[in-house]
Amino acid sequence: MFTKILIANRGEIACRVIATAHKMGIKTVAVYSEADKEARHVQLADEAVLIGPAASRESYLVADKIIAAAKATGAQAIHPGYGFLSENAEFSKRCEDEGIAFIGPRHFSIAAMGDKIESKKLAGAAGVNCIPGVNDAIETAEKAVEIAKGIGYPVMIKASAGGGGKGLRVAFNDKEAFEGFTSCRNEARNSFGDDRVFIEKFVEEPRHIEIQVLGDSHGNVIYLNERECSIQRRHQKVIEEAPSPFISEATRKAMGEQAVQLAKAVKYQSAGTVEFVVGKDQSFYFLEMNTRLQVEHPVTEAITGLDLVEQMIRVAAGEKLTLTQADVKRNGWSIECRINAEDPFRNFLPSTGRLVRFQTPKQTMFQGNTADLLGVRVDTGVQDGGEIPMFYDSMIAKLIVHGKDRNDAIAKMREALNGFVIRGISSNIPFQAALLAHPKFVSGDFNTGFIAEQYSQGFRAEDVPHDDHDFLAALAAFVRRKSRERAANLSGQLPGYDVQIGQDYAVVELGQGGNNRYVPVHVDEFVGKPGVAQITIAGKTYAIESKSRLNDIRIEGTCNGKTFTAQVERGTLKNPLALQVQHNGTRIDALVMSPRMAELHKLMPFKAPPDLSKYVLSPMPGLLVDVAVAVGQKVQAGERVAVIEAMKMENVLFAAADGVVKKVVAAKGESLTVDQMIVEFE
- 458-464: long-range contacts at Cβ-Cβ below 8 A with a sequence spacing of 24 or more? 458/347, 459/344, 459/345, 459/347, 459/348, 459/431, 459/434, 460/345, 461/345, 461/430, 461/586, 461/587, 463/434, 464/430, 464/433, 464/434, 464/437, 464/584, 464/585, 464/586
Q: Would residue 459 count as lying in a domain? A: no
Q: Would residue 494 count as lying in a domain? A: no
Same domain, residue pair 264 and 378? yes
Same domain, residue pair 97 and 182? no
Asked if residue 526 has pLDDT above 90, the reply is: no
Q: Would residue 458 count as lying in a domain? A: no
Among 12, 210, 275, 288, the one annotated catalytic: 288
Phi-psi region of 513 (alpha: psi -120 to 50; beta: other; left: phi over 0): left
Same domain, residue pair 336 and 445? yes
Asked if residue 516 has pLDDT above 80, the reply is: yes
For the beta carbon of residue 465, count every other beta carbon within 10 angstroms.
14
**Per-residue pLDDT reduced to its tens digit, 221-273:** 999 999 999 999 988 999 999 999 999 999 999 999 999 999 999 999 999 99
Same domain, residue pair 11 and 72? yes
Cβ neighbors of 253 (< 8 A, separation 6 or more) are none
Asked if residue 656 has pLDDT above 60, the reply is: yes
Q: Would residue 216 count as lying in a domain? A: yes
Same domain, residue pair 227 and 293? yes
Asked if residue 193 has pLDDT above 90, the reply is: no
Q: What whole-number distance in Å separates Cα of residue 271 and Cα of residue 267?
A: 12
- Cβ(630)–Cβ(664) under 8 Å? yes
pLDDT given for residue 214 in this prediction = 98
Asked if residue 574 has pLDDT above 80, the reply is: no
What single-letter DSSP state applies at residue 36? G
Same domain, residue pair 593 and 622? no
Dump the DSSP string for 451-507: HHHHTTT---GGGS--S-THHHHHHHHHHHHHHHHHHHT-S-PPTT-SPP--SEEEE
pLDDT over 90 percentage in the chain:
69
pLDDT given for residue 514 in this prediction = 82
Same domain, residue pair 363 and 245? yes
pLDDT-derived band at 528 (thresholds 50, 70, 90) equals low
Q: Which whole number is the average pLDDT over 210-215?
A: 98
Asked if residue 420 has pLDDT above 70, the reply is: yes
**Per-residue pLDDT reduced to its tens digit, 58-70:** 999 999 999 999 9
For the beta carbon of residue 265, count every other beta carbon within 10 angstroms.
17
pLDDT over 70 percentage in the chain:
98
Same domain, residue pair 561 and 419? no
Same domain, residue pair 191 and 216? no
Q: Would residue 463 count as lying in a domain? A: no
pLDDT given for residue 576 in this prediction = 84
For the beta carbon of residue 596, count every other beta carbon within 10 angstroms.
10
Q: Would residue 115 count as lying in a domain? A: no
pLDDT-derived band at 346 (thresholds 50, 70, 90) equals confident
Strands 27-33 and 47-52: parallel
pLDDT-derived band at 494 (thresholds 50, 70, 90) equals confident
Q: Which residue has the higher pLDDT, 217 or 657?
A: 217
Same domain, residue pair 438 and 353? yes
pLDDT-derived band at 161 (thresholds 50, 70, 90) equals confident
Please indicate whether residue 310 is annotated as part of the active site: no
pLDDT given for residue 200 in this prediction = 85
Mean pLDDT of the chain: 91
Question: What's the domain range around 401?
Answer: 207-452
Look at residues 219, 270, 263 and name the one whose alpha carbon lies nearest to residue 112.
Answer: 263
CATH number where 341 lies: 3.30.470.20
Asked if residue 97 has pLDDT above 90, the reply is: yes
pLDDT given for residue 315 in this prediction = 98
Asked if residue 215 has pLDDT above 70, the reply is: yes
pLDDT-derived band at 284 (thresholds 50, 70, 90) equals very high
Q: Would residue 118 count as lying in a domain? A: no
Question: Hey, which bits of 547-630 come out as E strands?
Answer: 554-559, 562-570, 579-583, 586-593, 615-617, 622-627
Residue type, 407: N
Q: What whole-number distance in Å separates Cα of residue 318 and Cα of residue 325?
A: 20
pLDDT given for residue 549 in this prediction = 87
Among residues 602, 627, 645, the one where a domain terminates is 602
- Cβ(473)–Cβ(591) under 8 Å? no
Asked if residue 508 has pLDDT above 70, the reply is: yes
Same domain, residue pair 220 and 334? yes
- Cβ(201)–Cβ(286) under 8 Å? no
pLDDT given for residue 118 in this prediction = 83
Q: Would residue 380 count as lying in a domain? A: yes
pLDDT given for residue 335 in this prediction = 98
pLDDT given for residue 466 in this prediction = 86
Same domain, residue pair 255 and 379? yes
**Residue 522: alpha-carbon gap to chain centroid:** 41
**Residue 77: alpha-carbon gap to chain centroid:** 29
**Per-residue pLDDT reduced to its tens digit, 391-408:** 888 899 999 999 999 999
Among residues 574, 602, 630, the one where a domain terminates is 602
For the beta carbon of residue 626, count every other beta carbon within 10 angstroms.
16
CATH number where 39 lies: 3.40.50.20
Number of domains composing the chain = 5
- Cβ(674)–Cβ(380) under 8 Å? no
- Cβ(89)–Cβ(18) under 8 Å? no
Asked if residue 527 has pLDDT above 60, the reply is: no
**Per-residue pLDDT reduced to its tens digit, 100-151:** 999 999 999 999 998 777 888 899 999 999 887 776 788 899 999 999 998 8
For the beta carbon of residue 633, count every other beta carbon within 10 angstroms.
14
